[in-house]
Amino acid sequence: MAKGLSENRFKRNGKVIDCVWPAETILGEAPYWCPEESVLYWVDIDGKSIFRFDPESGDRDIFPQEYEFGCIAKRAKGGFIGGTNKGIALLANDMTSVEIVSNPEPNLLENRFNDGKCDRRGRFWAGTADVNEIDPTGSLYCVEESLIVDRHFSNIIVSNGLGWSPDNRTMYFTDSGLQIIHAFDYDIVTGTVANRRNFVVVDPLDGIPDGLTVDAEGYVWSAHWGGSRISRYDHNGHLDQVIEMPVPMVTSIAFGGKNLNKLFVTTARLNMEEDQIKAAPLSGGLFVLDVDCEGLQETSFCG
């Protein structure tokens, strides 16, 4: 920690990083900036909770849940949609009631929904993962306005970060089990993918690629589980920038704030030993830093 900084503020690579909520989540994930409310939502999968943070007022809210939510997004019709360990769910706006509307994998008891988000037509994309992170039993699904759930491809170990280029022609998708961020040709009109290819293969020494977001310039940002870092890649998958984090389990990232130039970072303390937590006591907290670019506004689910 740099001299003169508080115990919740760090300076890395010339950037000031603040822990705005030392939440001690087990598996903090899936930050979602809600433009309508100007707040950040995120989940603790293993802690069965959804969090809401208002950066303007500093208000913090925790909503305990019956299910393990891996991701959520706002609905155009009110409330939220999310992926859980029991399938696709609709969640009331006050987060007090949940309805499971589809379970496309009823016989895969070791699978659960992990990361997910909406494309710019409002389709909700979410992938499943083997909770043991061994078998390629996961799939990537798309939920349409009618709540019909379509499977687009399978043989995934751990579905993770996804996002779209500013021109909507490329979709990025992470399989953490393979250490790969894939790129696909994307048809925004039909909501279909083609031409799957490797965009980045991450060296295990740099951690495991986890959550992902894309900025307004088309650069891809990836959180590295176990790598204490966030990486920014250019359009060709070349490493452009690295931001070192003060905790090892960096799980996901999202742009937020009035000008979408703040990067919110979720983290975890899952499987960390006592000495590791002592060395990084803010593991599981929510962090934020200012960046020299802007993000892309999130889209609500069309259903």
Query: What is the rounded radius of gyration, in angstroms, for the C-alpha atoms of the chain?
Result: 18
Sign of CA dihedral 174, 178, 180, 186: negative
Q: Which residue has the tokens 């009109």?
A: 189
Encoding tokens for residue 162?
Answer: 């996804």
Residues taking part in catalysis? 210
CB atoms within 10 A of CB 28: 31
- Return the ∠ at Cα 267 (arms to 212 and 103), rounded to 5°: 65
Encoding tokens for residue 237?
Answer: 């998958």
Give the residues across from 113 on adjacent strands. Answer: 128
Encoding tokens for residue 127?
Answer: 């992938």
Q: Which residue has the tokens 């020299």?
A: 292
